[in-house]
Amino acid sequence: MAGNSPRVGVLALQGDVREHLAVLSALGADARPVRRPEELAAVEGLVLPGGESSVIDKLARAFGMFDPIRDAIAAGMPMYGTCAGLILLADRVDGAIAGQRTFGGLDVRVQRNAFGPQTQSFETGLAVPALGDAPVHAVFIRAPAVVEWGRDAEPLASLPDGRVVAIEQGALLGTAFHPESTGETRFHERFLAHVRARRGAGAPAF
């Protein structure tokens, strides 16, 4: 792998880790699983995958990753959260289980399981103007939705009922769906663009 490839990680505690690693590697990134603080310190950006947000929260605390991830967000590390990862980036969560915490950073309120149980999973085409004219093929599986956001957060895509399902704030990106499972790469490309931009700005390595 070329030395100038973005060094990015996928939080590998639970969820669809391999799919994200495959997409990022195919895009030319030096992608690696991250389970420990020293592995987080070696990357320039982090993907928080889909899975079960409450389980990832508990495992992050058990592995000593919770505070390092929060600190990395506060220091400006680019992050991309899909489904459960979006919940983990949200400052506020509706429907959280008792004691559930998030890493935060996105000034949004997210509703867990906004579309019902897994039996009500669905697919749809989404208009995402920031990614070009071609619609995004989005798969929603026990997905969350953004129901409130602050002035610094920018919705990128929403459903006809107005619920926001893709949002960005600075170097933080979140989607309620799973582009890594449909061959859609543009969100990962956008995440990598944040990583490259931060490197180009001369930001210190983590």
How far from 30 is each of 4, 5, 27, 46, 195, CA to CA, in Å? 9, 6, 9, 12, 12
What's the whole-number mean pLDDT along residues 89-118? 91
Structure tokens at 42: 């070696």
Give the predicted TM-score (pTM) of the model.
0.93
Stronger pLDDT, 102 or 124, i.e. the higher one = 102
For the chain, the domains span 7-200
Q: pLDDT tier at 67 (50, 70, 90 boundaries)?
A: very high
- The Cα–Cα gap between 12 and 140 comes to 21
Query: pLDDT at residue 120 above 80?
Result: no
Class of domain 7-200 (CATH, top level): alpha beta
Q: Which of 20, 83, 184, 194 is catalytic?
A: 83
Q: Which of 20, 178, 188, 194 is catalytic?
A: 178
How confident is the prediction for the chain on average, in pLDDT? 92
What's the whole-number mean pLDDT along residues 50-62? 94
Which residues are known binding-site members?
A: 51-53, 112, 141-142
Which residues are known binding-site members for L-glutamine?
A: 51-53, 112, 141-142
Residue 83 known to be catalytic: yes
